[in-house]
Amino acid sequence: MELQRIQNKIYEIRGQRMMLDFDLAEMYEVETRALKQAIKRNIDRFPNDFMFELNEKEIENLVSQSVIPSKSKLGGAKPFAFTEQGVAMLSSVLNSKKAIQVNIAVIRAFVVLRQHLADYKDLKENIATLEKQMNLNFKDINQALHYLLNKDEQQISQHERKQIGFKK
């Protein structure tokens, strides 16, 4: 299973990185309702910090972000959202070779994502340290570079615009 494809299905919900039941069902090659039935039969394995049901506002937010094409895709059911631990617990509920392979791939995707976030945090801290040491503001430098890079594009786009109004 492609790591990037899995990472694209990890969303930020309630301040946590989560995966949705219909994405997981697709990866496990089972129907979403079958996945939900297995979870409901083993609900004790899924405390609130492993899995929760999305509320209407969260569903609307996912629709507006095009994560879900429309609410009708859900068939009236509210999706479950799973943390990394919840996804790991799914392997014990869906005991198949495919489930084990998918779980390994998903856990690896979470680990890579966590590493990227840690690297970003380290980079941000290093830039802040440099700004203090050199008495520089990289934000100002970035804005100046951005202006210089886009200046020519803006002039070209203005020149190529169709003129309106009175023409001789």
Which residues face 51 on adjacent strands? Answer: 82
Which residues face 52 on adjacent strands? Answer: 81
Architecture of domain 3-119: Roll (3.10)
Beta-sheet strand order (sheet of 16-20): 11-13, 16-20, 80-82, 51-53
Per-residue pLDDT tens digits for 20-78:
988 888 888 888 888 899 899 999 989 999 999 988 888 888 888 777 776 666 767 88
Residue 1 has pLDDT above 60, yes or no: no
At 90 the pLDDT is 83
Q: Return the minimum-mean-pLDDT range out of 8-22, 70-84, 150-164.
A: 150-164
Decide: helix, strand or coil at residue 22: helix
Residue 66 per-residue DSSP state? T
Residue 150 has pLDDT above 70, yes or no: yes
Most confident of 25-34, 65-74, 135-144, 154-163: 25-34
Look over the chain and give the mean of its residue pLDDT values, rounded to a whole number. 78
At 160 the pLDDT is 63
The alpha carbon torsion through 115, 119, 124, 126 (nearest 10 deg) reads 150
Percentage of the chain modeled with pLDDT above 90: 7
Name 87's Cβ contacts closer than 8 Å, sequence gap at least 6.
19, 24, 103, 106, 107, 110
Q: Which two tokens stand for residue 99?
A: 């489930």
